[in-house]
Amino acid sequence: MKYLLDTNILLIYLRDQKTKDYIDQTYQPFDLPNIPLISVVSKGELRSIGLRNKWGFPRLRSLNTFLNQLVTVDINAEDIIDKYAEIDAFNQGKLINKPLGVTSRNMGKNDLWRSATGLLQQHL
């Protein structure tokens, strides 16, 4: 199974041993035949968090070592860009053939990129 790990899950792996252990025991995202994936968007978010929180060189190096264990999915792919556009239009209540049915609510743009990436990764 492929697991697209969200930024919040990755932060758990970096900060919360108890919850990390629970995820590992329950889902085994790093055990074969599972494949842990990360969106390039989450990679950027994590590096930004490190810079904003003034993580030192050892901690940033540890972050990069951790991230290098994951397959990074680039968003610069036509199918992901198309899915992003579709999800964003739907989220705005503007997708003609799929009405939202409730008041629209804006998702964060990075969440839209991860959603588009995740939807397409499950079909590969």
Got the DSSP string for the chain?
-EEE--HHHHHHHHH-HHHHHHHHHHH-TTSTT-EEEEEHHHHHHHHHHHHHTT--HHHHHHHHHHHTTSEEEPS-SHHHHHHHHHHHHHHTT--TTS---S---PPPHHHHHHHHHHHHHTT-
Where in the chain are the domains? 2-73, 78-121
Tell me: cis bond preceding 33? Omega within 30 of 0 counts.
yes
**91-120 per-position pLDDT tens digit:** 887 887 876 666 667 788 888 888 888 887
User: What is the rounded average pLDDT for all residues in the chain?
Assistant: 89
Write down the pTM of the prediction: 0.79
